[in-house]
Each structure stands twice: as structure tokens, then as C-alpha cells.
Structure 1
């Protein structure tokens, strides 16, 4: 394993020079093109006083410029701070402030041009255009070792301001070795990336470069456009979050779309939020046996566990509700509140251990200490259990349980049950205030034709325990999402808990 991420990219540029690295629309760039361009941007950063160890924020929409800037930062030995352009301005300002970004590479509002700002506070209106592809000497990275910082990622949670998660060069390299294996990325693959490069898709683009594969980058997700690209551009691999899968299912009328003769799609990696087993079974019927599920978090990117392609078996429906088994470079255990490992089948907090867990939370030793348990394990904040075969079953977030009348209601289980109803397109479950029980289970439903709220509640009697059934149902046109593709339950809870001291019972 090479000592830093910059070395990985330079080795790939030397090995795959004539291969196509990135495609955007009708344009393409070879590995040699990215080599020249990223070296020029690294030289530009160096000329503005940015060096190894300095934080550089990437506030860019999806495009080749993001990939170029990403690689340039790594080759300089600087620290990448990806900033999702969908985040609100106050959150962006918070990220730039706490990361102490020395430079910001961002798209201007005029024509989407990528500009560079450098100043003490990360903001300077007198920016300059990002360097164009040109010959430049590869940057030197003196002293950039495995223990040095490579990136500061910010958590995508739905409560409070995001925390900075520090990853080292060793962590950054290790996650790609795991990802290339577990995501089954081959040199011949053509990866369709339409989720934000500032999030998981950026890691997949990096892995594709290291592996010698081609990234086909879209500015955003559109279901019809995705199906068109899969059919016409030789796409073999893509990453989707559950809501994207649902929209493709709603659009794809013909069965076995994924196995049609003119389609080469062989791998769909999905994750970032729970997927209803009933919809996953529908996806297998529609697109064929192409799915691989990941489970991880910002603190342990992507590959804590993996539900392999072979585990997506309609004949074993119990597996479709699991997160799979420990990834090739990770361990998983379930612990009690005091950190003691629990036996098979018992529910507790999920803990992960791998070479690519966080080094620390940025400038927050108390949160860092709380995150870790002995022997290198980290707490995920998720609740679940391991079965006898080692499959992890996620029940809920510790902060997302509804406690109704003293009973723990796992929202994930209720959502999975309600999603099986034929008139439910999408559903989210939250707790709303109740005078007697503290909280009551409330279902927020995106309906299909023929939906009836009272009928859904009656139907749930055969699916859920009495305390877990929805006591009220709200019908909406769509569910709010965070910039990271997760259902934003903070928004759903807000009107129900307005004026109260806390947003749980």
C-alpha cells in the first residue's frame, strides 16, 4: 500500500495514460489529460501559498473540475474539505470556518466556471480562474506520510451543525483498496456517478482513477436520463441511494430492464439510507441480480459491512433486510451501553473497526473519546443485531427511536412493514407528542392510487405489534431529503414539536 493518496494517483497516471478517465456529456479526458491538468492546479495552489497540510475546500458541482481539483489537492499533500453545494450558506460558512480552509475552489454563478480563492479566512472575492490543462512539474510532497491528514469530511446528519471528521493518508488509501474489491470495480468498468461528488460519489471517482476505470459524471440524478445512459453509453456500474432506486422502479415499466440484451449494467452499489426489503425485491425483479449494498458512515466510509450480489436472493428474503457481513477490511460487533459485546441475536449499538476509521473529530477531543471504545472500535450510533451467520440487521438510529409508553419502537422496522402495502410509494415514521405515551408513532406517506389512511392502519394490525402501529397518518406529495439523499426527519418532526423544549418525548 502506497504511503499517501497523491502517490496512488501518480501511479495510475503512469499506468493508464491513454485510457479514458472521465466523461462529462460528449467530452472526455484521458488519464494523461488529468495528469497535466491536476499538476497545473497544484502548481497554482502552491503559487498562492498553499502547501502540504493546508485545508482546501472544494465547493463544486459535479463535473471534471471537481475530479481535477480533488487530485491536485492530494498531489500537493494538502487536506481536502469537500463541501456539498446543496448545503445552506450558513452550513458552508461553518465548514470553512472550523476547517480553517486556506483556499476554496468553487464554481461561480456566471457560467459555472471554477474559480480559486485564497485568503486567511477562506473567502476572497478576488478569485482567479482555475488553471487550465497545461504542462507543469508534478508537485513535491516532502514529508507527507501515512499519519498526515488527507481529508476532513463533515457529517451529513440532520440535527445541529456538522462535525469535522479527520481522516489520515493511510485511511484514505485503505478505503480505496477495500472499495475496489467490495464495490467490484474493474479496469473495464464505466461508472455512472450522479450523486454529489462532494459525498460518496467522490470516493468512487477516486477509486475509479486508482483502478484505471472510467467515470461518466452527470450533474445530478434524473431517472429517465439514467436509464438512457445505461442503455446507450455502455454503463456497467453505478451508485444509487434508495430514493433513486424507487424513482427508477416507478419509471421502468418493462421487467428485466437490467438484463436486456443491449444493457451492460452488472453492478449497482446502493446505500446511504435504509432500503425497504419489499422495494429491493422489486428492484431485483426489474433490474436483475446486479445489486451490492454498503453500510458505513462518514467516520468509517462506505464499507463497514457489505451485502454481496449473491446475498440478494429472493429465496432468502430475510437477507434483503440485512446490511450483510463485515467488509473484507472491517470488523463488526454489537455492544451494550457499557461497551460489552453482546451475543448473537441481542440488540445493541453497532460498532465497527477498520484501517479507515476516523483519526478524530476536528478539535473535539470529548466527542472523539466518546466515539471510540477499546481496541480501536468506534460506536456508530446505530442499533442492530448480528445473526448466527454474521449478517448485520440494522434496526434504527439510537437518536431515531420512538419511545411510546415505555416501549422502544424501531422506525426502520415500521417503515419496512408499511412499505409492503401496495398503496404506499414511500414512507417515513417519526414520533409525535402524546399526553399519555410521551410519543406516538406517526407515518408520513407518499401514496399510490387507491390509498386510504384508515385502511393502512387496519392493515398494519397483521404486520406490527400494537405499540408499533401508526396511531396517525399524514399524506404528502414527497418526502424532504437532506443534501446527502437521506430523509430529513428533522423537517418532518418540526411542525409536531414546535414550541416544545425538546423534539422527542
Structure 2
């Protein structure tokens, strides 16, 4: 296996294919490997001139329209020997400040024209990509530059979790973790000339697409703002063979009827990540993308690059697949003791790559002997397929029963009027907690009508006590439903 740091990965690609297109933000000039390396090297020299040294943390604040500059900044920070801290430009000022303070960022590289409210005296400097590269680029090229060379075990990235269940935590990854499996002779997704995605900067899925731009065969294509029509037009225009999205985007594509207006037959692989993909949604995707294999990827920011992959199988509608590429998955007790097939317990994953850790908290109970506690409950079937029961924090204890919100959501999605739905618990004076379902629908759906439909799919204690209609489910920047926001809204309305 080839072992490369991120700057070495880019340098090798720039030397062997300088004119090859790595990244395209639709409507902007494509970024070639040669140009990417040149600009990143210039930025690295600019950072060193500002006093950035090995081990420093540098915040990167960019939006979806700025993927090209972000890619340059990310590789430039790593080439300077520092660690990149990817942050979305859509963060609330208080959250931005919290993350920068938590990692002790020495400075910020940001998108041109972006105001940075919430930063303060602890941040030594702020700069744009062009500002850092000015002057240095004229004297530097990828053939002659000799920036500091980080080691495989050096800290490369701190990525903050979504914080849907509590305070966001910074997950630290080394170069060895980020580039695990990269540099092989056969490049990933070789069936495609273009890979289209709409993952945001500052998410684990977005970072995976950045590494794909460095290592995979196809050019990685994205767009400044996702809408179903724009995304479908992008796929059609580039005849993309590979597409990645989150379930919320899949639901929007289906509901917008994009297959009636766009030729999506070029897609051979459609991958869904970041949240469970309901089987009803997966089944509808097979109609929108008639030649595509619909695939669900299950991992976490903490566990990456370990993952399970599941090609949609109607006979296993609730499974997220089996571990791949040398990774492992097990279901165990809270103490880490493995459980037999069919028995529900905590889901743990193990990566063949160098493990990740929480920045500033390397001894967290989430990480144990190379295994990562996923925060989910599930079970393995006799063939090793993983089935999720629920997020540990989302299980609803109603009376004497424990109710899986994932199971309830899966059942609700089968109603033809439902576009999207989320189940969660709210307080009850007798049962302690009862199930509430928030849903967006194509047409009016009375709560009692939904309950009658669900009687064939759910046990009596799983039926929702409350049904709330919403225009759309609240989601965080990574596309995950914000159940805390839903719970507060319902409780405040009662």
C-alpha cells in the first residue's frame, strides 16, 4: 500500500497529470492538478511568512460557492505543516467562535468578501487565499517549490461534529488517516468521467469528496447552491456516472419530478450518506436513476474511513450493509463485549487506518483499543449485515417499552402522501415519554388517517401519540434532522 501525506498526494497527481481536471464548481473555471498544486504551494509559503509553524491550527471558513479556493487553502495549510480546521460560512457566530477557541486556531483563511463576526482577540490574523498567495506565486511553481514536508502521523485536520445531540466536538485526523487507501494504481470510480455531489464544506462527507478530488479517477463537480432542478441539470450536463447526496436531497429530487425533465441515465452509482436512507426513498430513487445502483454508506466523523456499504436490497430494507475495505463492525455491550447475531446492542466500528480522536480529549470513552463507539444501537444478522435500531440518544422509553424512532420513521415513509418525516419523544405525565411524528406531506394527511395506516406496520406502543405537520424538517448544515429543534417547537406549542 502506498503511504502518502496529503501534500504528497497532490504533488504526485500534479506531476503525472498537471492538466487533468480535479475539481469543478459549476459556473467557475475548472481547477487542474497542476494549478491546484501551484496555488497551494504559494499559499503555504504565505502562511510560513506569517509565522505559521508545524502543528498550528488554521481555521478555514468557506461556503459552497468557494470549493475551489477552499481546496487550495486546505492543501496549502497542510503543506505548511499546519492542521486545517474546516468550518462552514453558515455557522452562527457563537458556534464559529466556540470552535476556533476550542482548537486554539492561530489564524483564519476565509472566502473573499466574507465578514467574520464572532472572531475576536484570540485569533492572530485573517487572510484570503489570494492575499496569502500574492507575491509568493510569482516565484514558485510545483517543480521548484520545497515547502515543509509533514509526516504521516502529523495532525492534518480537525473536523467538528454536527452537535445535533450536544456540544460539537473536534475530531482530529492525521495524514495517514485521510489518505488511507489512496495512491493505488486503479483509481476509485473509474467508471465515471465526472462525479457530482452537493455536500457542504465542514462536513465529513464534504471532506471525503475533497480527497476524492485528489485521488479518484473522475473530476469532482459541485454547485454553489443545491436545488433539485440545478442538481439534476448538473448531472445531465456532465453525464455524471457517479452521484453522492444526502437523503434530504434525494427526497427533494423525487418530489420535484426531475426525471421527467432531465436525462439521468448516465448515473451508474448513486451513493447516499450522512443519515439513514428510508427504503421507500431508495425504491423511488431506482425509478429516478434507472441504471444506477443505489448505495447507502454508514460511518461517522469519528470512525472514518471505516464504513459499511449497502446496495439497496428490498429483502433487507433496514440494513446499512457490511464492513468494507478492511474495516470491521461489531455489536457489543457498553463494556465492549461482542454480542451474538440478532441481539441488539451498541454499534462499534474499527478502521484499518490510523484512528481518529477527539482533539484535546484523546482518552474519551468513544474510542477504545482502536474501536469507535458509534452512538447507535443495532444488531448483526446471520450473514453479518448491520441493522440499525436507533440513535442511542433517540430511543424513546414509553411506559414499559423502548421504541425505535428509526423504525417509526421507516413505517411513516411508506405512506404515499409523506415526503419526509421524523419521530422523537416528548414528555407525558403517565408514560414518561410518547412518540411524536413531524412530517411534510404532498397533500393533507389527518393524524387519525396516518395512525390507521400505521396499524399494519407498527405495534400499538409504537404508534405516534402526536402528529405535527411542517413545511419542511429543520436540518443542520450536514443534512441531518435537528430533532432538538423539533422537540422544542412541539413542546413550546403545547
Please, what TM-score do these two structures have when normalized by structure 2?
0.90
- Give the match for residue 344 of structure 2: 347
The 5-angstrom pairing of residues 212-361 of structure 1 reads: 212-252=217-257, 254=259, 260=265, 264-288=266-290, 289-301=292-304, 303-307=306-310, 311-313=311-313, 317-356=314-353, 358-361=355-358
The 5-angstrom pairing of residues 133-148 of structure 1 reads: 134-136=138-140, 137-142=144-149, 144-148=150-154
Contact between 1:175 and 1:301, CA under 8 Å: does it hold in 2?
A: no
* Whole-angstrom CA distance in 1 between matches of 2:263 and 2:387: 27
- Give the match for residue 194 of structure 1: 198
- 1:266 deviates by 2.0
CA RMSD of aligned residues (A): 2.6
Question: 1:106-140 CA distances to partner (integer Å, 9 max, x unpaired)?
Answer: 124x3x59x9xx99822546878242564515343
* Whole-angstrom CA distance in 2 between matches of 1:123 and 1:11: 33
Q: Closer, same or farther in 2 for the Cα pair 1:126/1:228, shift >3 Å? A: closer
- Give the match for residue 503 of structure 1: none
3-state SS in 2 of match to 1:340: coil
Contact between 1:256 and 1:286, CA under 8 Å: does it hold in 2?
A: no
- Give the match for residue 458 of structure 2: 464
Contact between 1:76 and 1:141, CA under 8 Å: does it hold in 2?
A: yes
Q: Aligned to 1:72, which of 53, 71, 76?
A: 76
3-state SS in 2 of match to 1:393: strand
* Whole-angstrom CA distance in 2 between matches of 1:276 and 1:258: 24
Q: Which runs of 5+ in 1 are unaligned?
A: 500-505
Q: Aligned to 1:168, which of 168, 174, 185?
A: 174
- Give the match for residue 88 of structure 1: 92
- Give the match for residue 59 of structure 2: 57
- 1:89 deviates by 0.9
Matched, 1:154 2:154: no
* Whole-angstrom CA distance in 2 between matches of 1:131 and 1:421: 55
- Give the match for residue 502 of structure 1: none
- 1:217 deviates by 2.6
3-state SS in 2 of match to 1:171: helix
Which range is displaced more, 153-162 or 379-388? 153-162
Contact between 1:190 and 1:235, CA under 8 Å: does it hold in 2?
A: yes
* Whole-angstrom CA distance in 2 between matches of 1:422 and 1:7: 51
Contact between 1:428 and 1:444, CA under 8 Å: does it hold in 2?
A: yes
Q: Give the number of equivalent residue pairs.
A: 479
3-state SS in 2 of match to 1:56: strand
* Whole-angstrom CA distance in 1 between matches of 2:191 and 2:75: 19
- 1:294 deviates by 0.9
* Whole-angstrom CA distance in 2 between matches of 1:387 and 1:411: 20
Q: Aligned to 1:386, which of 380, 388, 393?
A: 380
- Give the match for residue 131 of structure 1: 133
* Whole-angstrom CA distance in 1 between matches of 2:470 and 2:462: 21
* Whole-angstrom CA distance in 1 between matches of 2:326 and 2:222: 28
Matched, 1:427 2:421: yes
Matched, 1:418 2:425: no
3-state SS in 1 of match to 2:133: coil
* Whole-angstrom CA distance in 2 between matches of 1:49 and 1:2: 29
Contact between 1:396 and 1:412, CA under 8 Å: does it hold in 2?
A: yes
- 1:82 deviates by 0.5
Q: Closer, same or farther in 2 for the Cα pair 1:36/1:124, shift >3 Å? A: closer
Matched, 1:101 2:109: no
Please, what TM-score do these two structures have when normalized by structure 1?
0.88
* Whole-angstrom CA distance in 2 between matches of 1:22 and 1:372: 34
Q: Closer, same or farther in 2 for the Cα pair 1:478/1:119, shift >3 Å? A: closer
* Whole-angstrom CA distance in 2 between matches of 1:23 and 1:176: 21
Q: Which runs of 5+ in 2 are unaligned?
A: none
* Whole-angstrom CA distance in 2 between matches of 1:294 and 1:76: 33
Contact between 2:327 and 2:349, CA under 8 Å: does it hold in 1?
A: yes
- 1:346 deviates by 0.7
- 1:357 deviates by 6.1
* Whole-angstrom CA distance in 2 between matches of 1:14 and 1:177: 13
Contact between 2:83 and 2:155, CA under 8 Å: does it hold in 1?
A: yes
- 1:54 deviates by 1.1
Which range is displaced more, 121-130 or 435-444? 121-130
Q: Closer, same or farther in 2 for the Cα pair 1:156/1:173, shift >3 Å? A: same
Which range is displaced more, 446-455 or 119-128? 119-128
Q: Closer, same or farther in 2 for the Cα pair 1:125/1:58, shift >3 Å? A: closer
Q: Closer, same or farther in 2 for the Cα pair 1:119/1:443, shift >3 Å? A: closer
* Whole-angstrom CA distance in 1 between matches of 2:165 and 2:120: 30
* Whole-angstrom CA distance in 2 between matches of 1:254 and 1:359: 40
Contact between 1:154 and 1:163, CA under 8 Å: does it hold in 2?
A: yes
- 1:340 deviates by 1.0
